[in-house]
Amino acid sequence: MVKNKTFTMLKPDSVENGNIGAILEKITTSGFRIVAMKLTQLTTADAKAFYVVHKDRPFFDDLVEYMTRGPIVAAILEKENAVQDFRTLIGATNPSEAAEGTIRNMFAESISQNAVHGSDSDNNAAIESAFHFSEREMF
């Protein structure tokens, strides 16, 4: 099978709550290889650009505030069927609807503060990866 890539962020709540190690453990034991990774922090302009698709939603300002309030871990992950399998691993956007054992079920607080990001398509995975990483940071 051909391996492909997805992009993730461990969001500020995951970093604040000391969950970086536990979440990375879930990710790597689920068969994802880390291609690139960094601890970084989004500026307001970064967050507005990253989530531009949601700019007219009522939660947009809160989302930008949340995503910029502290460091995140950004990473590119590789696996067969990476995008879909990672969405399965993280669970539903609302952690109260996320399946047992998923990352959001285990680590997320609410629909707004939901621990992790996962790309929703191969095309967006490529765009989001390029937003954070240059070619020389990808292994």
Catalytic residue flag (residue 54) = no
- H helix intervals, 1-139: 12-16, 20-29, 44-50, 60-68, 82-90, 103-107, 122-132
Tell me the DSSP string of 104-129: HHHH--SSSS-SEEE-SSHHHHHHHH
State the binding string over 51-90 for ligand IDP (x if CB under 6 A, else -). ---x----x---x---------------------------
Which residue in the set 6, 14, 114, 129 belongs to the binding site for ligand IDP (CB under 6 A)?
Answer: 114
Selecting among 5, 11, 117, 132, the annotated active-site residue is: 117
Q: How far is the C-alpha of 45 from the C-alpha of 12, rounded, in Å?
A: 16
Comparing CB distances to ligand IDP, the nearer of 79 and 117 is: 117
State the binding string over 64-103 for Mg ion (x if CB under 5 A, else -). ----------------------------------------
Give the closest residue to 103 by CA, choosing from 113, 85, 89, 118. 89
Q: Name which of residues 112 to 131 contact Mg ion (CB under 5 A).
A: 120
Catalytically active residues are 117
